[in-house]
Structure 1
Amino acid sequence: MKGSERGNMQNILVIGFNTRNVVCSASRAGYTVCSIDAFRDLDLQECAHSSALLECGTVQELHKVEISRIKAQMAEFGLEFDALVPGSGLEMLDHKDFSCPVLASSPDALQKASDKLYLSKRLEALGVPHPRCYSPKELDAIEYPVMIKPASGGGGIFNRIARNRRELLASLEELRELNPELTEQTVIIQEFLEGIPSSVSLLSTKNEAISVAVNEQLIGIPWLSRLPFAYCGNITPFRTDQAEEMEALAEELVLEFKLLGSNGVDFLVSEKGPVVLEINPRFQGSLDTVEKAMNINLFEAHAGCFRGELPEKPEAKCFAARGVIYSDRELFIDRKLMDVILRENSADIPFEGTVAEPDGPLTSLFACTSTREEAVLSLKKGANRIKAFIEKQTKRKNT
């Protein structure tokens, strides 16, 4: 991809656990997009030129997918791909395995940015405020309360709080039972701090980075999920007097870690100032709200970064909110439920005949309004309508 002309890049493959937001962004930018992911949502299929299913129930299963299987699925599309874009769960794909360019940071940079224990040590060296991390070998040194979470990967569904050693050991045991991959070697124990979860979305080239938006994160929202730390969406922009400091820190970090394209840095807005929680070296869940609020196409901007181009810093046009509704039960997706979801301003629309797992994501709702409060109220009303329909249907089936 030499020069700044886009004409030499048209056919794109997006691959990851859930690719809908990236695929639809690329489609809106005029690319011919194919997708391989674990959901094949209805709206993804509408945006994509063609799509294939990765049969894996978790991001962990995705890590074990054979490259030969991915290549076989690529061949079935019958297109010559100009670029491949890895999404969540497949960030670490070896670029050398593919004949087309991979629009992502180097696997080495991704590995370092994703490893929360390594990040903690780097932040310590840089003098950047962050929660203290303990290894499971340091049980006697721990000051409680602490958060236990996977060392890499996000979503918050495996995050646990421990207020003493007994709770910590019980949480470690519970996580091992839920997912055998979550051993003492693959989790981290992190100082638990109070604050407002937030993030900065950035674009970066080799030499330069700009913050595109500061986002409020919706974490463990009771009317969206039963899980106390599940990622439930975003509101963009997040108005806070710490925004400029967060943007400067985030820009410093993506350049320090040699990240390219669209990346995110998670923060806590605390009484003592911004605290860095983690780096997301890939397209983030906030993509939709950033695009709606800031009137930018993030896929086009991401592709530009690999040609050394950055857009102008955008201004917010509205408060855009995304709410991810999680299912509180095993739920068969029939036509009636799909129709209820489709009546809302929704995305990540499950395909008819599929099953939503208990505490698995069901769908996303959106709002774009002149105030944050209106946006939240709109999401809440939509979520209540969907949940009321599910309750009604469940009662009818049980009588």
Structure 2
Amino acid sequence: MQNILVIGFDTRNIVCSAGRAGYTVCSIDAFRDLDLQECAYASALLECRTSGELRQLDPEWIIAKMKEFGLDFDAIVPGSGMEMLDPYSFPCPVLASSPEAVKKASNKLHLAKRLEALGIPHPRCYSPDELDTIEYPVIIKPATGGGGIFNRAAKNRQELLAALEELSGLDQGFTENEIVIQQFLEGTPASVSLLSTKNEALAVAVNEQLIGIPWLSRLPFAYCGNITPFRTEYAKEMEKLAEKLVLELGLIGSNGVDFLVTEQGPVALEVNPRFQGSLDTVEKAMGINLFEAHAGCFRGELPEKPDAKMFAARGVLYSDRELFIDRELMEVILREKIADIPPQDTVIEPDWPLTSLFASASTRDEAIKSLERGAERIKTFIADRITGEIESLSPAREA
């Protein structure tokens, strides 16, 4: 196996991991970041912005793009948004869990029932026909994906109905069957990154998740990155629960389970049946190539459990306004230790990711402080520029 196609909403981390492992990689995604283009043999733009558009993507269009790349592909690897890619529609294998397994794992109402049967603590989930039985507060989420951008909290029925109406306006794919209403709990967000074959599962790392971090995003539930490893007394318990769960769900390859560490212990939130946003920090902290390990899972192979060598942190910096990436802003961004580098002369929409900052250190606090300093430098440059533009448009003061 040598030639790989990676397709998804955002594929940079998968493409670069595969490139480091020695594969020839082509990509179809919605960003075509500069560092993705550097890692990939070739890339194409996925002109989809909503979950509905991704689900309606014609396999024939994908096959046509594959032909344009001029390679004989040995495998396709789906990323975010393309988890349920039909393996029977393509001329080469799809290295992912079966669409049936992915659908069950991604459906939060179905997952809640499985968690209940397995005795794994989890928040209560409500279906749209249970509005009269809801105990508030709740959080409203897309049934699959989203990165937290579309998550909304509600303290009462009025706020819930307003949130449902807002989400249906943002994405027509957010129908009643594509929205989950979940009990809102307090705690520290975490995740377990796993590898699994048909018969075995291995928890590779426990990660602290950065959710709604004010100095990275103004969205209260946006995925803002993570820190690997997460040092907590509940790490071993989360690993065991996650391994049990992915085997129960029949998932293969690289998958993740999200938890909330509450005062009473870990609570399972959801399953990500695909490569996760923590890929970069897991690889850096644990000294493992996750793409190579993912491919090995489909041969029935699991690596040895790695040990953490350092703390690795990723911070996803969001733009709080429409932002044009000109040469000066690009130079400021490139001074930092970053990934997900937007191409010059493109426009970043409000509340969309601008870039990802990275740090590694011997302690968690050092890594976080490094992220904060980098984010502050970029944000200060943008704020100073906006202030200068406003002042230049103001009437000259009278002498």
Partner of 2:313: 321
Consecutive unaligned residues in structure 1, runs of 5 or more: 1-8
| 2:62 corresponds to which of 70, 74, 85 | 70
Letter aligned with residue 33 of structure 1: V
Q: Distance in 2 between matches of 1:138 and 1:269?
A: 27
| CA contact 2:50–2:173 (8 Å) conserved in 1 | no
| CA contact 1:204–1:262 (8 Å) conserved in 2 | yes
Partner of 1:166: 158
Q: How many residues align?
A: 391
Structure 1 residue 210: Cα displacement: 0.5
Partner of 1:142: 134
Percent identical among aligned pairs is 75
Q: CA RMSD in A?
A: 0.9
Q: Distance in 2 between matches of 1:300 and 1:152?
A: 26
1:99 and 2:91 matched: yes
Partner of 1:295: 287
Partner of 1:356: 348
Q: Classify 1:58/1:186 alpha carbon distance in 2 versus 1 (closer, same or farther; 3 Å).
A: closer
TM alignment of 1:45-124, pairs within 5 A: 45-124=37-116
| CA contact 2:7–2:28 (8 Å) conserved in 1 | yes
Consecutive unaligned residues in structure 2, runs of 5 or more: 393-399
Offset from partner CA, 1:37-64 (integer Å, 9 cap, x none):
1110000000001111111223442222
| 2:324 corresponds to which of 332, 339, 363 | 332
Q: Distance in 2 between matches of 1:190 and 1:110?
A: 20
Partner of 2:396: none
Partner of 1:6: none
Letter aligned with residue 282 of structure 1: R
Q: Distance in 2 between matches of 1:176 and 1:60?
A: 11
Structure 1 residue 124: Cα displacement: 1.2
Letter aligned with residue 338 of structure 2: S
Q: Distance in 1 between matches of 2:211 and 2:315?
A: 10
Structure 1 residue 328: Cα displacement: 0.3
Letter aligned with residue 93 of structure 2: P
Q: Distance in 1 between matches of 2:55 and 2:166?
A: 22
TM alignment of 1:238-253, pairs within 5 A: 238-253=230-245
Which structure 1 residue ranges, 4+ long, deviate > 3 Å from structure 2? none
| CA contact 1:224–1:383 (8 Å) conserved in 2 | yes
Which SS does the other structure have where 2:121 is aligned? coil
Greater displacement, 163-172 / 317-326? 163-172
| CA contact 1:216–1:238 (8 Å) conserved in 2 | yes
Q: Distance in 2 between matches of 1:96 and 1:183?
A: 27
Q: Distance in 1 between matches of 2:49 and 2:146?
A: 15
Q: Distance in 1 between matches of 2:298 and 2:176?
A: 37
Structure 1 residue 230: Cα displacement: 0.2
Q: Distance in 2 between matches of 1:174 and 1:303?
A: 40
Q: Distance in 1 between matches of 2:381 and 2:387?
A: 10
Q: Distance in 2 between matches of 1:154 and 1:54?
A: 16
Letter aligned with residue 257 of structure 1: L
Q: Distance in 2 between matches of 1:83 and 1:292?
A: 25
Letter aligned with residue 173 of structure 2: E
Which SS does the other structure have where 2:270 is aligned? strand
Partner of 2:175: 183
Which SS does the other structure have where 1:312 is aligned? coil
| CA contact 2:259–2:270 (8 Å) conserved in 1 | yes
| 2:3 corresponds to which of 5, 11, 29 | 11
Q: Classify 1:159/1:195 alpha carbon distance in 2 versus 1 (closer, same or farther; 3 Å).
A: same
Letter aligned with residue 152 of structure 2: R
Letter aligned with residue 181 of structure 1: G
Offset from partner CA, 1:134-179 (integer Å, 9 cap, x none):
1121112111111111122231111111111111111112212222
Q: Distance in 1 between matches of 2:259 and 2:58?
A: 34
Q: Distance in 1 between matches of 2:167 and 2:96?
A: 31
1:37 and 2:29 matched: yes
Partner of 1:270: 262
Q: Distance in 2 between matches of 1:307 and 1:22?
A: 19
| CA contact 1:172–1:183 (8 Å) conserved in 2 | no
Offset from partner CA, 1:103-137 (integer Å, 9 cap, x none):
10111001110111110111112111000011121
Which SS does the other structure have where 1:12 is aligned? strand
1:234 and 2:226 matched: yes
Which SS does the other structure have where 2:380 is aligned? helix
| CA contact 2:59–2:90 (8 Å) conserved in 1 | no
Partner of 1:387: 379
Structure 1 residue 234: Cα displacement: 0.3
